[in-house]
Structure 1
Amino acid sequence: MPSAMEIFRQTGPSHLTAVDWKNHHHRRAVAASLVEGAYKIERDRQQNLQGPEAHAPPWWEFFHFQLNHLLIDDVDHSIFGVIYESKLPASYFMQSELKAPRYVMAFRGTLTQHDTRTRDLKLDFQCISNRLHESSRFQLAMQSIQHMVSLAGAGNVWLAGHSLGSAIALQAGKSMIKMGFPLETYLFNPPFISAPTERIKEERVKHGIHIASSVVKAGLSHVVKSRHRSSDSKQDQDPFVVLSAWSPHLFLNQADHICNGYIGYFEERRKMDEIGAGRIERLAIKNSIESMLSGALGKETEPFNLLPSAIVTINLTPAPDFRHAHGTEQWWNPNFHFRSMVYQFTS
């Protein structure tokens, strides 16, 4: 049987022998590896692999991290997240020009093994229905994040996640910025719940659908806000404006239908600005039709997957199948073709 390090060297970013924390490609590769470590440590638990037989440790030890704490689901007792602590000396983090994290909180996505399948799929459905924040898994994650930030400070804590795990990290990051704590966040293949318009090949048709949707959402937003406008002259600050100060890193694959809705979401904002319809789009991107109808009924109104600002990287390398388009391994590949954009919301 090959050793755990041999397996890591075959499939992981073993080429990254010296990490330059100022290099965004290096930071992306390390963050993806630590998320993979969260997957591997749960698989080790299910297969009862311990000690030198365990496959997980090289995924963090190679980058000089150690385990600080495991996040365990209270329903199926699976490991859904890991808190890593850097082995670098504390004095290293006092140098403001360095971008290395002292702690990284990484969350895995859905596993289809028998031990985790039922719980993970239930959380997937909660994500689709905009109720992930109600789950005990998310609440456990938030408690741990708040605790780590209180101990180490927001500047020393990273969030990272893949798929369902990125939905947890996204929701948590949004909650933390509302408290005044912006966290460096790496979201790999985050789910975007919407109509599958990105599968439409004809660009004019797709763009027309986006414009029509934006107009409808802007109109609904105006109507709903008019009906619920308080007589009190003091209005709460727009949460979308609060969130705009936080720019998480999104890593998307154009062939992944789970996350590629974000590509259209951000691209249409740019196109609407170009045709002079930016004001409509700024109203529309704050809401989904479902969230506004829920708001009219007095329910939760903020869709978890909508973002005002982000640093977006799109993998343009053709994927042979969905597994490769949605997998984590693409994000530590040093040779993939990509396009990056920075999107900043302005009110």
Structure 2
Amino acid sequence: MLAHDHDSDATSRKFMKRYILGRLVYGMYDRFKRARKYEEWWTEVHYDLWELDKVLTKEELNKYATAVEYEHKNKYFGVFRRNNVFPLAEFPDWVVAIRGTHLLSSTDLKNDLAIVLETLKSSKLIKILKVVVRRLGKDYKYCNVNVTGHSLGAAAGLLVCRRLALKGCLVEGHFFNPPFVALESLARTCAHAVKHALMRVFPADGEKLYERLKNAAWGASSTAFQAVVEPDGKKKAFAEFTTLAEVNWSPYLYVNKHDLICKTFLSHFTGAMHGSIDEDRKMWYSTVTEFSKWFLGKTESFHLLPSAHLVVIETFEERPYRAHKLWNWMVDPQLPYEFKQAKLIPSPHT
């Protein structure tokens, strides 16, 4: 077989895995909407849906009864086991697939807000999801489990897999259009918008005006920030970031360049850190959320990662929200994409 044939086969298998994972997530959307024949999303690619009472122990079902009931009501995710009739090793034995937001669900919208405020960790979704993934890993080995999700589901999956990776339990994650819209990133986006607006209105002095405004705002906020910042917050974030680099956990992030919700991941992984790690805090520490801790309780960043496998597409849409749709990743097997193994800091094992 020629070298390009090997490449063609590898590309085909990658598309097929992406397609299968996407179908499982679509199945969760349609199950929540009670669409007709929603089971076909997974039965046609040879996966079976397992109910939680077949996955969790009786003790876990009792201990997390409230979270289990929450999942039964909202139907966020499904646990899937591969049929024996589908023996290809590239495809995982177990998949946890998590749907994204349904705009008519107030619970979903509350969880979306929690993503921005970095309080998603406190949701019942995260509680039950972590228990399920951990149980699958213990019973069937973590290497045989994949977690996938879209949008809100990608955020939840990233948070859970990140927590497990910090404990040395590495789960392969495939996350479609994962949101990067925390307060820190929104603040930077607003700052860039202000800068460009000033430069358009005042071509000669716009940049100087922006710098003056930025310095004034920073001077006014820095004193207040120092008063509320959690002393150990930065140390904890730094330790977690370096631990993730040491265990070499790299989730697959499927990002559309035109998707306003997830494209910040591309700039996050633009280049490796220069100098010592702690010199570039924005890569591993979300400072703005220190303010919200005083009003909302403990926060947790899921989007600040030292490494990732980036799969990038560029589908131009007249309506920007369409770039966020899961369907973009499934409609065309020949869809051109860029693949990059991005690392902000080198792993000790490489």
Q: TM-score, normalised by structure 2?
A: 0.71
Shift of the 278–324 alpha-carbon distance from structure 1 to 2, 3 Å rule, reads farther
Which residue identity does 1:238 align to in structure 2?
A
Deviation at 1:236, TM superposition (A): 11
What is aligned with 1:11?
A: none
Shift of the 237–129 alpha-carbon distance from structure 1 to 2, 3 Å rule, reads closer
Contact 1:248–1:311 (8 Å) recurs in 2:
yes
Which residue identity does 2:50 align to in structure 1?
N
- The C-alpha deviation readout for 1:226-271, integer Å capped at 9, x for no partner, is 9947xxxxx999211221211000011111111111111111x34x
Contact 2:177–2:253 (8 Å) recurs in 1:
yes
5 Å matches for 1:1-347?
23-44=13-34, 54-69=36-51, 74=70, 77-88=73-84, 98-113=89-104, 117-193=105-181, 194-195=185-186, 197=189, 228=231, 238-244=239-245, 245-267=248-270, 269-270=271-272, 279=277, 282-291=280-289, 300=298, 302-332=300-330, 333-346=332-345
Shift of the 336–286 alpha-carbon distance from structure 1 to 2, 3 Å rule, reads same
Deviation at 1:344, TM superposition (A): 2.0
- The C-alpha deviation readout for 1:100-151, integer Å capped at 9, x for no partner, is 21110000011123xxx11111111111111101011211111111111111
Deviation at 1:308, TM superposition (A): 1.0
Contact 1:22–1:99 (8 Å) recurs in 2:
no
- The C-alpha deviation readout for 1:248-306, integer Å capped at 9, x for no partner, is 00011111111111111111x34xx5xx5675665431112214566899x64642211
Which residue identity does 1:129 align to in structure 2?
L
Shift of the 73–313 alpha-carbon distance from structure 1 to 2, 3 Å rule, reads farther
Shift of the 227–255 alpha-carbon distance from structure 1 to 2, 3 Å rule, reads closer
- The C-alpha deviation readout for 1:5-28, integer Å capped at 9, x for no partner, is xxxxxxxxxxxxxx9798322221
Shift of the 126–295 alpha-carbon distance from structure 1 to 2, 3 Å rule, reads closer
Greater per-residue helix proportion:
2
Shift of the 79–228 alpha-carbon distance from structure 1 to 2, 3 Å rule, reads closer
Secondary structure of the residue aligned to 2:17 is helix
Which residue identity does 2:18 align to in structure 1?
R
Secondary structure of the residue aligned to 2:312 is strand
Shift of the 73–343 alpha-carbon distance from structure 1 to 2, 3 Å rule, reads farther
Deviation at 1:337, TM superposition (A): 2.5
Secondary structure of the residue aligned to 1:251 is strand
Shift of the 227–42 alpha-carbon distance from structure 1 to 2, 3 Å rule, reads closer
Shift of the 72–35 alpha-carbon distance from structure 1 to 2, 3 Å rule, reads farther
Shift of the 120–72 alpha-carbon distance from structure 1 to 2, 3 Å rule, reads farther
Shift of the 290–25 alpha-carbon distance from structure 1 to 2, 3 Å rule, reads same
Deviation at 1:78, TM superposition (A): 2.0
Q: Which runs of 4+ in 1 moved over 6 A?
A: 19-22, 198-202, 294-297
Give distance in 2, aligned partners of 1:170 and 1:183: 10
- The C-alpha deviation readout for 1:187-226, integer Å capped at 9, x for no partner, is 1111112126398698xx9xx99xx99xx9xx99xx99x9
Secondary structure of the residue aligned to 1:314 is strand
Contact 1:82–1:105 (8 Å) recurs in 2:
yes
Deviation at 1:84, TM superposition (A): 0.7
Give distance in 1, aligned partners of 2:231 and 2:68: 41
Contact 1:317–1:336 (8 Å) recurs in 2:
no
- The C-alpha deviation readout for 1:62-108, integer Å capped at 9, x for no partner, is 21101112696618812110001101279x58xxxx33211100000
Give distance in 2, aligned partners of 1:227 and 1:105: 35
Give ranges in structure 1 of 5+ residues lacking alignment: 1-18, 230-234
Contact 2:121–2:300 (8 Å) recurs in 1:
no
Give distance in 1, aligned partners of 2:264 and 2:238: 28
Contact 2:117–2:292 (8 Å) recurs in 1:
no
Give distance in 2, aligned partners of 1:261 and 1:236: 20
User: Identity percentage over the alignment?
Assistant: 24
Secondary structure of the residue aligned to 2:130 is helix
Shift of the 182–340 alpha-carbon distance from structure 1 to 2, 3 Å rule, reads same
